[in-house]
Amino acid sequence: MDPAPTPPGSFAALMYAGFNRRIGVTLLLGFSSGLPLALSGSTLQTWLATLHLDITTIAAFSLAGLPYSLKFLWAPFLDRYLPPFLGRRRGWILITQLLLAFSLVLMAITDPTSALPRMAELAALLAFLSASQDIVYDAYRTEILPPRERGLGAAMTVGGYRLGMIVSGALVLVLSGRIGWRDSYLMMALLMLVAMLPTLLGPEPPQATPPRSLKEAVTDPLAELSQRPAAAGLLLLVVLYKFGNWFSGPLTSVFLVAGVHFSPADVGVVNKGLGIIATIVGVFVGGALMTRLGLFRSLLVFGVLQAASTLTFMVLAMVGHNYGLMVLAVGVENLAWGMATAALVAYLMGLCDPRYTAFQFALLSALDSLSRVFLGPPAGYVTDHFGWTATFLLSALLAIPGLLVLLALRRRIEALDVRRA
């Protein structure tokens, strides 16, 4: 008989995860999913900042993350076509992991000062492969976990994903000062190869008949979404909910290094280390509070907190180099971000039709990341012409449109309330 389900985050749940193959694989593949993100984003931008490139060029590298916003375009291909080994899910995961490791090696041996366009291309390739891994992993996780384990599986995914981000963010920034950027990226390539083990040893999901055509894999999920009442507003909220946070968030590490002159090691320990730990705490706190607040009020309260937390960085920009204030700003901002993320993920899950979860979740999460990708260059322009204080103030103000859309959709969102599922 299966053990009784245990609440995510409890000691019993962690012990249970250690003896459950499905949950263990979920945790380890969550790590594999989170590892490449910073290496094509904030960590790479920090590398460029240490080379004293101008802020506009560094901000433009946020466009390398465009594949995360467009991953829904090739998600149907990964559903429709089967690799010749390890099945439809594990086969594609293994292929993307191999290519991710190879891409990291190429980035490690590329000198940004003499081959900046090539580095930009490699960063975009890394993001494309990482987004592809995410698509298949989301589907694989959904298929191998029975309903009673999905709550714990989601918690383990977040934990693994954030651990991957800590390693590719905090650890790489700290190591860069000791062994250099080249060897740090080579180490990440080695870790990606190690991450292939859970893919090879993971359980095979139940057999499912793949879509008979690409048309079937695309048109049916899109038609279902478009026929929802207030469909345009519901999708607009996905784009706008983190609009303000995405304006300044990707430049936080650059601000701490180039704006208030902290060392890369300080930024690695605080912004990437403490910050991600605060995010994990925020995710679980947000999830716990949602059981009392419900979906709509959680989105509203956490969205307001997320916008207000950006102002702590504005204060740091005004005060200047102050270690205690940096710790406070990073902790508060990431805690609020984690809480808002928990609410947003619940909202995206509520929007998905169970028949089309893989494609629809890829589409909705891509809409969320649109702001993160396209707001990078405007944020760089504002910073270059008006300074960091203006950037963080504008970031807080840009959260208001999403909150207004949220208020207008109150009845529709209450109908999605996870408590009624």
Which tens digits make up the pLDDT trace of 18-52? Answer: 457 777 787 788 888 888 988 888 888 888 888 87
What residues does each domain of the chain span?
1-204, 213-421
What mean pLDDT do residues 94-109 have? Answer: 93
Local structure of residue 291 (DSSP, 8 states): H
* CA atoms of 286 and 279, how far apart (whole Å): 10
> What is the CATH topology of the domain spanning 1-204?
Growth Hormone; Chain: A; (1.20.1250)
- Other Cβ atoms less than 10 A from the Cβ of 148: the count is 12
Helix, strand, coil shares, percent, the chain, to 5: 85, 0, 15
**Fold match flag (1-204 vs 213-421):** yes
Position 417 confidence tier, pLDDT thresholds 50, 70, 90: low
Condensed to tens digits (0 to 9), the pLDDT of residues 325-345 reads 888 988 888 899 888 887 787
pTM: 0.68
213-421: what CATH class?
Answer: mainly alpha
Helices (H), 145-274: 150-166, 172-194, 196-201, 214-226, 231-240, 243-248, 252-254, 264-267
Region 194-215: mean pLDDT is 79
- Mean of the pLDDT values across residues 306-313? 90
More confident residue, 326 or 216: 326
Instruction: Look at residue 304 and tell me whether its pLDDT is greater than 90.
Output: yes
Question: Please, which pLDDT band fits residue 150 given cuts at 50, 70 and 90?
Answer: low
The answer on pLDDT for 350 being more than 60 is yes
Q: Is the pLDDT confidence value at 252 over 90?
A: no
Contact 379, 251 (CB under 8 A): yes
pLDDT confidence bin for 384, thresholds 50/70/90: confident
Could you give the dihedral angle defined by the CA atoms of residues 56, 57, 58 and 63, in that order, rounded to the nearest 10 degrees?
Answer: 100
